[in-house]
């Protein structure tokens, strides 16, 4: 049995010579499958068509996962480069005052946070001249304050890196910048044997910039470099 073609001759020749054009077009293939199912009638179950639909669904899921993995990889690479640049800038100053001032300036800009504060515990009741001079980046507090701040007064060991949304901002930490902080990254610092702990706090206006679901490896590395730099300045 033969039938005359009902499509344009040039289109027919193109399809015959390059069938991959049809096979690679998902929309065209779906239209052909749908037409074939209609031709078979409603009483016939096309198991091959059902299998193909399931494979297409799985392929779509795999493609979405692939895109998500690539996006996460690029984001992680960008974050790594960002932290490395901040560390290099942090190591540039040759004086302690410049080292601290850079935290609230170039280092904060590189990390894309709105403020950076260094919190140090001290047993002294009065602030010295250095604290007054560097009040925009340096805060002092009583012993035990840092662990209490990190655990929100619940006790227990404090993590090295804490990421969270800020509902109530503590002015003892942020000072004049308290009104502009909605999320924070808190890095607990080990300043060496015989010294009280410290804390580096990064504050952001964006309430979603830091959250407990984010990874902390890069910030833990940054904290390790920072606390080693601090030990040298304090020695």
Mean per-residue pLDDT over the chain, rounded: 81
Q: Give pLDDT, residue 210.
A: 92
* Span 179-189, average pLDDT: 92
Q: For residues 186 and 200, give the distance between their C-alpha atoms in angstroms, rounded to a whole number.
A: 6
For 32, what's the count of Cα atoms within 13 Å in the CB-facing half-sphere?
Answer: 9
Tell me the per-residue pLDDT of 80-123, one tens digit each, with 9 for 90 and over: 888 999 999 998 888 888 888 898 899 999 999 999 999 998 87
pLDDT at 1: 44
Share of residues in the chain with pLDDT > 90 (%): 28
**Mean pLDDT over residues 175-198, rounded?**
89
Mean pLDDT computed over 23-45 = 67
- For residue 162, give the 3-state DSSP assignment: strand
Helix, strand, coil in percent for the chain, rounding step 5: 55, 15, 35
Is residue 219 a contact partner of residue 187, using CB atoms and an 8 Å limit?
yes
Q: Per-residue pLDDT for 15 more than 80?
A: no
- Whether residue 129 contacts residue 141, with contact meaning beta carbons closer than 8 Å, is answered with no
- pLDDT score of 123: 78
pLDDT attached to residue 150: 92
Where do the H-state alpha helices sit in 92-169? 96-102, 108-111, 129-133, 145-151
In this model, does residue 214 exceed pLDDT 80?
yes
**Cβ atoms of 100 and 230 closer than 8 Å:** no
Classify 177 in phi/psi space as left (phi over 0), alpha (psi -120 to 50) or beta. alpha
Which long-range contacts does 25-30 make (Cβ < 8 Å, 24+ apart)?
26/56
Position 135 scores a pLDDT of 65
Q: pLDDT, tens digit, for every residue of 112-165?
A: 999 999 999 887 755 555 556 676 888 888 899 999 999 987 877 888 999 999
pLDDT at 5: 54
**pLDDT tops 80 at residue 206:** yes
Which DSSP string corresponds to 171-220?
A: HHHHGGGGGG-SEEEEEEE---TTS--EEEEEEESSTTSS-TTS--HHHH
Output the pLDDT for position 58. 79
Q: Is pLDDT of 79 > 50?
A: yes
Burial annotation 4-35 (CB, 10 A radius, 16+ → b, else e): eeeeeeeeeeeeeeeeeeeeeeeeeeeeeeee
Q: What is the pLDDT of residues 48-65, one digit of tens each?
A: 666 777 777 777 788 777
Q: Judging by DSSP bridges, how do beta strands 138-141 and 115-121 pair with one another?
A: parallel
Pick the CATH number of 93-234 from 3.40.630.30, 1.25.40.10, 3.40.50.1370, 3.30.450.40: 3.30.450.40
Number of other residues whose CB lies within 10 A of the CB of residue 153 = 8
Which residue did the predictor score with more confidence, 175 or 221? 221
The mean pLDDT of 176-180, rounded to a whole number, is: 83
Domain map (residue ranges) of the chain: 93-234
Count of helix runs (H) and strand runs (E) in the chain: 10, 5
Nearest to 119 by CA among 93, 155, 94, 144: 144
Per-residue pLDDT at 130? 57
């Amino acid at each position: 049995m033969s039938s005359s073609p009902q499509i344009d001759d040039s289109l027919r020749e193109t399809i015959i010579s390059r069938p991959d054009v049809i096979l690679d077009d998902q929309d065209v293939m779906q239209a052909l499958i749908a037409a074939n199912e209609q031709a078979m009638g409603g009483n016939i179950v096309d198991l091959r068509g059902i299998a193909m639909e399931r494979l297409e669904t799985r392929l779509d899921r795999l493609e979405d996962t692939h895109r998500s993995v690539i996006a996460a990889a690029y984001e992680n690479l960008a974050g790594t480069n960002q932290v490395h640049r901040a560390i290099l800038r942090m190591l540039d100053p040759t004086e302690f005052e410049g080292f601290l001032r850079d935290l609230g300036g170039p280092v904060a800009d590189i990390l894309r946070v709105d403020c950076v504060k260094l919190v140090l515990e001290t047993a002294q009741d009065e602030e010295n001249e250095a604290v007054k001079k560097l009040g925009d980046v340096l805060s002092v507090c009583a012993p035990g304050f840092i662990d209490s701040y990190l655990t929100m007064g619940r006790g227990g060991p404090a993590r090295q890196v804490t990421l969270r949304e800020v509902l109530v901002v503590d002015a003892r930490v942020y000072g004049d910048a308290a009104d502009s902080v909605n999320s924070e990254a808190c890095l607990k610092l080990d300043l060496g044997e015989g010294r009280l702990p410290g804390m580096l706090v990064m504050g952001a206006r964006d309430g979603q910039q830091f959250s407990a679901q984010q990874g902390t490896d890069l910030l833990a590395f940054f904290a390790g470099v920072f606390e080693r730099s601090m030990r040298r300045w304090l020695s």
